Structure 1
Amino acid sequence: MRRELISEPGDPARPNEDFATFAVPASGQGGALVVLDGVTPPDGDDGCLHSVHWFCARLGGALTELSVSRRDLTLSEILTQALGRTAEAHAATCDLSHPRTPQATVVLARWSGTTVEYLVLSDSALLAEAPDGTVTVLLDDRLARVPRASLASDAIADATVRNKEGGFFTAAADPSVAARALTGELPRAAVRTLVALTDGATRWTEKFHQGDWTDLFTLVRKEGAAVLVERVRALEDADRERREHLGRSKTHDDATVVYVDL
């Protein structure tokens, strides 16, 4: 069984604000993966003493532990509990009501001998490959549907659309946001491979239009997750002025890819 994880910072001088892990027992009969993309805040006050890196590490750790140990809970319930735990860890020192409080996109997947459960919140992506090679794309596309004029950049949205009806949702301090996530189940027999990606890696498709989602999946399967990130970096370097591909607030973004053969 092939399992692969790569996570590279967009700027080596800054902490990587992505989080990624997978847990697969030796029996190979089940497992889980977690991918978070921390939202880089603008300069200035965000009401919190802690970094986005800290937030993603705390939330990601809780999601991983609960996904493995509490199979009686749905993924939505797991996200609710993990957000509650993380909020409790800094509620006494930080203003969790601040619209820029640390937050992240979320991809969760958990599989058993019979089902594959998934949860996607905001603009990271989960790809599920069937035994016949068909790729199903699981996306929460609400951010993409927000009018560009409402956004300060491709990563930082105005407070009027972030975690608001008619806008889009991220995992921050309010556990109730878990109910806003895209969730579902697929038959285990219908899924051969899962690939989870943050938007720093999905730029290959979404920003640079080098191929569709099936092409992206095929590239990762044939050449590896690291090659996908290398190609994104090359495209970014060739377009540093961002004139051709508008909507990029950063030349380079943190990029994470998790590949798991089930």
Structure 2
Amino acid sequence: MRTELVSEPGDPARPNEDFAGVGLPACGQGGSLVVLDGVTPPSGGTGCVHSVPWYTARLGGALTELTVSLPDVPLAEALARGITRTAEAHRATCDLSHPRTPQATVVLVRWSGGGVEYLVLSDSALLVESPDGTVTPYLDDRLSRLPRASLATDALIDTTLRNKEGGFFTAAADPSVAGRAVTGVLPRAEVRALAALTDGAARWTEKFREGDWTDLFGFVRKQGPRALVDRVRALETADAQARAHLGRSKTHDDATVVYVEP
């Protein structure tokens, strides 16, 4: 099995809000991966005494353990259990009903001899390559389909869209959002390799148009996750009008890539 993982903060002076992990059972058969992209909160606060990296580390650790130790539990249920476990760790000290309580996007994959199970929640991406070289993206595109006007301010997003019907969903403190994730199971024979990316790394395709998802996958396969993140950083740095081109305030975002040939 080939596994490569890179996770880099957008700003070296700030903690990385992403989480990535690969779990391998002691029996030596199968495995799982977890990729989380912590949601950077606005300056107004979150109702929580903990940071986003604290949250993603807690949730990511729980999901890495649950996806390996409970192989017969569906990934949506594993996510619900992980959210519940993490919420209980700070319910007594924090306002978990706050719309900006620490939260994250999620990609989970678990493979065995028989199949490959996947879950995607919010705007991180999962790419799966079949034996004939076809690359299929598995995406939760609800956020990208929303009208730009509905995303005009943080307050508007929080009151009308964030973790609400007709909007988009992230893993925060409510385990029921696990039921909103994009999920499925693929026959093991139809999966040669896969890659999970946070949106900071997916900018290569989604923002800078360096190629489509198949091109991105080929880049990672040949040159590795480190090369993809380095190329994204070079594109960001060269873009003198980052706000206009990227359509967001961050010139650099946390970027994570996990590549697996199970």
The TM-score, its normalising length taken from structure 2, stands at 0.96
Q: Return closer, same or farther for 1:66/1:25 CA change in 2, 3 Å cut-off.
A: closer
What does 1:102-121 correspond to in 2, within 5 Å? Answer: 102-121=102-121
For residue 169 of structure 1, report the CA deviation from its aligned partner: 0.3
Alignment coverage as a number of residue pairs: 261
For residue 150 of structure 1, report the CA deviation from its aligned partner: 1.6
Q: Tell me if the contact between 1:150 and 1:158 (Cα under 8 Å) persists in the aligned partners.
A: no
SS at match of 1:143: coil
For residue 153 of structure 1, report the CA deviation from its aligned partner: 7.1
Separation of aligned partners in 2, 1:243 and 1:157: 19
For residue 44 of structure 1, report the CA deviation from its aligned partner: 1.9
Q: Unaligned stretches of 5+ in structure 2?
A: none
Q: What residue in structure 2 maps to residue 58 of structure 1?
A: 58
Separation of aligned partners in 1, 2:66 and 2:203: 30
Separation of aligned partners in 2, 1:214 and 1:138: 12
Show CA shifts across 1:91-139 (max 9, x none): 0000000001000000000000010000000000001111111111000
Q: What residue in structure 1 maps to residue 84 of structure 2?
A: 84
Q: What residue in structure 1 maps to residue 39 of structure 2?
A: 39
Q: Return closer, same or farther for 1:243/1:175 CA change in 2, 3 Å cut-off.
A: closer
Q: What residue in structure 2 maps to residue 225 of structure 1?
A: 225
Q: Return closer, same or farther for 1:54/1:20 CA change in 2, 3 Å cut-off.
A: same
Q: Return closer, same or farther for 1:243/1:172 CA change in 2, 3 Å cut-off.
A: closer
Q: Tell me if the contact between 1:31 and 1:68 (Cα under 8 Å) persists in the aligned partners.
A: yes
Separation of aligned partners in 2, 1:120 and 1:181: 6
Q: Which amino acid aligns with 2:45?
A: D
Separation of aligned partners in 2, 1:129 and 1:28: 23
For residue 17 of structure 1, report the CA deviation from its aligned partner: 0.1
For residue 152 of structure 1, report the CA deviation from its aligned partner: 4.4
**Identical-pair percentage:** 75
Segment of structure 1 superposing worse, 114-123 or 158-167: 158-167
Show CA shifts across 1:142-183 (max 9, x none): 0001111121479x9443111011110000000000000000
Detail structure 1 runs of 4+ shifted over 6 Å in the superposition.
Answer: none
For residue 12 of structure 1, report the CA deviation from its aligned partner: 0.5
Separation of aligned partners in 2, 1:36 and 1:243: 24
Q: What residue in structure 1 maps to residue 17 of structure 2?
A: 17
Separation of aligned partners in 2, 1:76 and 1:54: 22
For residue 216 of structure 1, report the CA deviation from its aligned partner: 0.2
The answer as to 2:252 corresponding to 1:252 is yes
SS at match of 2:143: helix
The answer as to 2:135 corresponding to 1:166 is no
Separation of aligned partners in 1, 2:153 and 2:38: 15
For residue 240 of structure 1, report the CA deviation from its aligned partner: 3.7
Q: What residue in structure 2 maps to residue 198 of structure 1?
A: 198
The TM-score, its normalising length taken from structure 1, stands at 0.96
Q: What residue in structure 2 maps to residue 142 of structure 1?
A: 142
Q: Unaligned stretches of 5+ in structure 1?
A: none
SS at match of 2:126: strand
Q: Which amino acid aligns with 2:133?
A: G
